Chains A and B, each alone.
Chain A
């Protein structure tokens, strides 16, 4: 149990376009989901906390208008990178916290390449 999926696993897009990444908790409900960014050979950096039915909480330095987060249901959160630029190329990872418990389960990540 406690499986988190991400779609797509890899996406290439042109500069200026928008890309949507989905994060789903497959077999549990997640009131809270988290979005991280991981640069090559570096640690995960939290971008935002996504709460079902409310606005996301962004970490300092993360542009909320650029990284749009929607958490419309207890099993789905989406991250949309708007007007993507090459510097947005990275590995984006989501995690989901099972409602009522503290443990987070991680998705496999989405590699975004902006050309």
Chain B
């Protein structure tokens, strides 16, 4: 069964501090991993996906198949990064339905 675990419901850091949002997954095949962000009163939007290996808004995430993790990192957090972050998984080449983690609310304090 596909499962995504985000162990931290809430995460609070100070501006300028590094931030890491954890995501672990369970899937028997080759998954596609995504990070979505939802700012206050806005729709869910894609932040990054592992196959593109991009850095968006200073965030990066590396897929670690050995640890089945896809942690989201940013070296210097900004106040505007405060939002809900969801890790999601889909099967490659399948129906591509997304399975979401429960989300982590990140608060960046001034």
Contacts and interface: CB of A to CB of B under 8 A. Distances in A.
Contacts of B35: none
B46 to A, nearest CB: 6
A46 interface: yes
A90 to B, nearest CB: 15
Interface of B: 32, 36, 42-46, 49, 86, 90, 95-103
B95 A43 contact: no
Given A34-B98, A49-B97, A44 B86 contact: yes
Interface residues of A, number: 20
B98 A109 contact: no
Given A44-B44, A46-B98, A108-B43, A102 B32 contact: yes
A43 B43 contact: no
Contact of A44 (B32, B42, B49, B100): B100
Contact of B98 (A104, A107, A108): A104
Interface string A77-115: 000000000000000010101000011111111000000
Interface of A: 32, 34, 42-46, 49, 57, 93, 95, 97, 102-109
Contacts of A95: 44, 98
21 contacts: A34-B97, A34-B98, A42-B102, A42-B103, A43-B86, A43-B102, A49-B95, A49-B97, A93-B43, A93-B44, A95-B44, A95-B98, A102-B49, A102-B96, A103-B46, A103-B49, A104-B98, A106-B36, A108-B42, A108-B43, A109-B43
